[in-house]
Amino acid sequence: MEKQKKIKPPKELPSGFEDRKEKELLIRDFIILKIKEVMVKYGFQYLETPSFEYTESIGKFLPDKERPGEGVFSFKDENKWLSLRYDLTAPLARYVAKNFNEIPKPFKRYQLGTVWRNEKPGPGRFREFLQFDADYVGTKNLQADAELCVMISEILENCGLAKDDYIVKISSRKITDTLFEKLKIQSEEKISIILRALDKIDRLGWTEVKKLLGEGRKDKSGDYTKGANLKDDQIKIIENSLNVNLPESEDLKQIIKIFKDYKFDNYKFDPSVIRGLEYYTGPIFEVNLNFNVKNLKGQVIQFGSIGGGGRYDNLVSNFGNLDYPATGISVGIDRLVFALMQKKEFDLKVISPVMISVFDQNNMKKYIEILMKLRSENISSEIYPGEGKIKKQMEYANRINSPCVIFVGEEEIKNSEVKIKDLSTGKEINIKNENMVNEIKKII
C-alpha cells in the first residue's frame, strides 16, 4: 500500500503578519474611540480611501525613485500595477488632487486605516498595521502645524499616558538646510548620509553617531556601516548645532509662540529629528515615548517613535494641480497599543456568556426558552455549544470565564426551577424560573 504524502498547508503566518486577539483589539478600540473624540473636537472630517491605489499614484513619491515598487506590495491587474497603500498621506494627496473642486479649502481630514509595507519586520513593527493620520491641506499657516502637535498630545493623554510618558519633538528642514550651508556641503549623497546618522542619535547616542559622521561604525554584531567621512571641524560644527536649545529658524520660533498660546509645553526642540528625507519641506515633528518597551520575552527593545509628521508643501502638486501646501501627522496605532498595554492597566470588561448546560438533547426546547429569556434581558448567554458530559461542559465554562452555569435537569423541570452555579464562588442555588433573571443579574 502506498501511503499518500500529505501536503500540509503551513499554519505559520507570512513574516510580519499577526493574528490579533481580543485583549489587544479591545484596547485598540478604546484608542480609536479616543482619537475620534479628539478629532471631532478639533474639527476634522472623517475620510476613507481604498487599500489599493495605482502604483504610480502612490509610488511616484517614493524617496528612492530608482526602485519604484520597492517596499510596497504590488500586483499587476490587467495592464496596470496596483499597490497596497504604505501610508495614508499619499492617498490623501491623490484624493485632494482628484476632488480639488469639491473639497473645502483649506481641507482638514483624518483617517484610520490599515497600511502595508513590504520590508523586514522588527520588534513591534509589522508588515501590516493600523495607522492614524490627520492632515491640514491648503494652508501655510503654521498654526496648523502647531495644532497637530497639541492635538496628538491630547490624544495620548486621553488614552491614559501621563505628561512625562511622552514628548513631542520638533525641528525643521530649515534647520538642517542652514547647517549644510554652514558646513559648505552640497553633495546630495553626503547630505543624506549625514541626515540619516543624525536621525540615530536617540538610539545610538552621540559617540556612535560621531563615528557614522566620520569613518564609520561597527555595530555589536560586528556589522560595519560606512560613514560620511567628515573632517573633525565639520563634526564639531554639527555637534555645536545639536546643543542649541532654542531654534533659530523663523518657522519654529513662530510655532513655539503658538504653543504658548495653547499652553502646550510638552515639546522639545531637537535638531536631530529628521524623518523622511525628500518629503518634508518645513517643520517636522516626532512623538517619542519616555519609557522602556519590552517584547514578549521580556527583553527591552528599540521601540523608536510612535508617530510623527511635518509639512510637505509640494505633494499635491505632483498630480499636476497647482502648488498646494499641506502638513500632517501619523501614528502607528498598533505600536501605541503595544506600548500602552505595558504602561497602563486596562480594566477591560471582557464579557463572557452565562452558559446553559445541556443534560438532554430532548430538552433543547426548554434550554432555548431560557436562552431567549436571558438574551431578551441583554444578558450574554449561550447553550453549551459542544457535545459531551457535564464535566466537559464545566471545563468549557471555566475556560471561557463564564460567570455562571445554569443547570436544568429533570428534577429542576419538575419543580419549575433552575439551578444556578456561580463559577467564581462555586456556590449553587435552586431558584424558581421567574426569579432566574434577577438572580443572574446579581452574579454577573
CB crowding 391-416: b at 16 or more within 10 Å, else e: eebbebbeeeebbbbbbbeeebeeee
Is 203 a residue that touches RNA (CB under 7 A)?
Answer: yes
> Minimal distance in Å, beta carbon 398 to RNA?
3
Residues 6+ apart with CB under 8 A from 168: 149, 152, 153, 266, 267, 268, 285, 286, 287
H/E stretch holding 420 reads: strand 417-422
Can you tell me the distance from the alpha carbon of 175 to that of 273, in angstroms, rounded to the nearest whole number? Answer: 10
CB closer to RNA, 37 vs 291: 291
CB closer to RNA, 87 vs 251: 87
> Minimal distance in Å, beta carbon 115 to RNA?
9
Is 212 a residue that touches RNA (CB under 7 A)?
Answer: yes
Is 21 a residue that touches RNA (CB under 7 A)?
Answer: no
How many residues form the binding site for RNA (CB under 7 A)?
67
CB closer to RNA, 263 vs 389: 389
Binding mask 110-129 for RNA (x = CB under 7 A): -------xxxxxxx------
Of 179-187, 238-246, 338-346, 386-394, the window that binds RNA (rule: CB under 7 A) is 386-394
Please measure the distance between the N-terminal and C-terminal CA atoms of the chain and give it in whole angstroms. Answer: 58
Q: Which three cell numbers stand for residue 23?
A: 485583549
Q: 184 — alpha (psi -120 to 50), left (phi > 0) or beta?
A: left
Is 193 a residue that touches RNA (CB under 7 A)?
Answer: yes
Is 200 a residue that touches RNA (CB under 7 A)?
Answer: yes
CB closer to RNA, 30 vs 73: 73
CB closer to RNA, 200 vs 344: 200
Subset of 51-90 contacting RNA (CB under 7 A):
59, 62-64, 70-72, 86-87, 89-90
Contact 398, 423 (CB under 8 A): yes
Is 279 a residue that touches RNA (CB under 7 A)?
Answer: yes
Question: Contact with RNA (CB under 7 A): which of 45, 290, 292, 398?
Answer: 398
What's the chain's length in residues?
444
3-state secondary structure of 318: helix
> Minimal distance in Å, beta carbon 309 to RNA?
8
Q: Which three cell numbers stand for residue 391?
A: 464535566
Contact 125, 307 (CB under 8 A): no
Is 435 a residue that touches RNA (CB under 7 A)?
Answer: no
Question: Contact with RNA (CB under 7 A): which of 2, 223, 345, 347?
Answer: 223
Is 275 a residue that touches RNA (CB under 7 A)?
Answer: yes
> Minimal distance in Å, beta carbon 411 to RNA?
4
**Per DSSP, what are the bridge partners of residue 311?**
327
Of 101-109, 149-157, 164-172, 420-428, the window that binds RNA (rule: CB under 7 A) is 420-428
E strands in 78-126:
80-84, 107-116
Contact 238, 180 (CB under 8 A): no
H/E stretch holding 54 reads: strand 52-54
CB closer to RNA, 89 vs 258: 89
CB closer to RNA, 253 vs 275: 275
Subset of 169-188 contacting RNA (CB under 7 A):
none
> Minimal distance in Å, beta carbon 396 to RNA?
8
Is 14 a residue that touches RNA (CB under 7 A)?
Answer: yes
Can you tell me the distance from the alpha carbon of 240 to that of 257, in angstroms, rounded to the nearest whole number? Answer: 24
Can you tell me the distance from the alpha carbon of 120 to that of 147, in angstroms, rounded to the nearest whole number? Answer: 34
What would the DSSP string read from start to end of 356-397? E--S-GGGHHHHHHHHHHHHHTT--EEE--S-S-HHHHHHHH
CB closer to RNA, 263 vs 391: 391
Is 44 a residue that touches RNA (CB under 7 A)?
Answer: no
Interface residues toward RNA, by CB under 7 A: 5, 11-12, 14-16, 59, 62-64, 70-72, 86-87, 89-90, 117-123, 192-193, 196, 200, 203-204, 212, 219-223, 225, 275-277, 279, 295, 299, 301-302, 304, 359, 389-391, 394-395, 397-398, 405, 407, 409-412, 419, 421, 423-426, 428
